């Protein structure tokens, strides 16, 4: 089956009611990112950081996949699909996609403060400060903070190198290294961008641009691709 690689960003989750990572005022849910999304913030005020991600997790669990998530899952009927997402929600999985790589972690899991490779499922939305990993270290949200390495980036780059069709949905291409993944797609591969605000993509004119929201553009493209098979 033809290999399709999809890179998704906050725009696809926004239509499920989840706030984008950075609003126009530079804040995330009213917080300075430096106060809730850095290792220094965790050292300085772990209770605040824990509470922030508990609230984000609650919002994620209350949200539902939208038409774009469901449409991407339908692609698996006739294609070999890998979704690489910058999002920390699990809406792709709940929408039916079976092969999802989370570049920045997934908020429904916790991780050890001492060893980021030790991760655990979270029962419900709340992660308490007295919950610890097997090493006795406090558990935190399984998300990649500013200043931390992106452990899945090399795997994602290798997958992009094998793409036979590439789709970018709802990403402003402002956060690196994720934004650089488009450069790993082989020359000549057909590439689509679906976004209400099409991001600037270097001098690459090979993208087919669909300037509309994900819940309209993605089902439309998926229907076209499936009908061609």
* Residues belonging to the active site: 104
State how far the alpha carbon of 53 is from the alpha carbons of 4, 34, 35, 177, 208, in Å.
32, 14, 12, 23, 36
The secondary structure element, H or E, covering residue 8 is strand 3-8
Q: 91 with 69: CB under 8 angstroms?
A: yes
Q: What CA–CA distances, in Å, run from 77 to 2, 91, 225?
A: 11, 19, 11
C-beta separation of 156 from 115 below 8 A: no
Using the Cα atoms of residue 6, residue 10, residue 16 and residue 18 in order, give the sign of their dihedral: positive
């Amino acid at each position: 089956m033809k290999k399709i690689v999809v890179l998704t960003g906050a725009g696809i989750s926004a239509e499920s009611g989840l706030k984008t990572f950075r609003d126009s005022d530079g804040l995330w849910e009213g917080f300075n990112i430096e106060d809730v999304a850095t290792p220094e913030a965790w050292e300085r005020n772990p209770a605040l950081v824990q509470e922030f991600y508990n609230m984000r997790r609650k919002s994620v669990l209350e949200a539902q996949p939208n038409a774009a998530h469901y449409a991407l899952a339908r692609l698996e009927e006739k294609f070999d699909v890998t979704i690489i997402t910058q999002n920390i929600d699990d809406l792709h999985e709940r929408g039916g996609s079976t092969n999802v790589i989370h570049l920045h972690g997934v908020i429904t899991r916790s991780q050890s403060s001492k060893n980021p490779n030790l991760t655990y499922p979270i029962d419900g939305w709340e992660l308490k400060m007295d919950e610890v990993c097997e090493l006795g270290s406090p558990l935190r949200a399984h998300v990649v903070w500013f200043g931390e390495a992106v452990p899945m980036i090399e795997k994602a780059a290798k997958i992009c190198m094998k793409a036979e069709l590439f789709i970018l949905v709802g990403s402003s291409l402002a956060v690196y290294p994720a934004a650089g993944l488009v450069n790993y797609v082989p020359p000549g591969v057909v590439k689509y961008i679906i976004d209400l605000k099409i991001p600037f993509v270097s001098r690459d004119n090979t993208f087919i641009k669909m300037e509309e929201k994900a819940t309209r553009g993605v089902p439309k493209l998926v229907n076209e691709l499936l009908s061609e098979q």
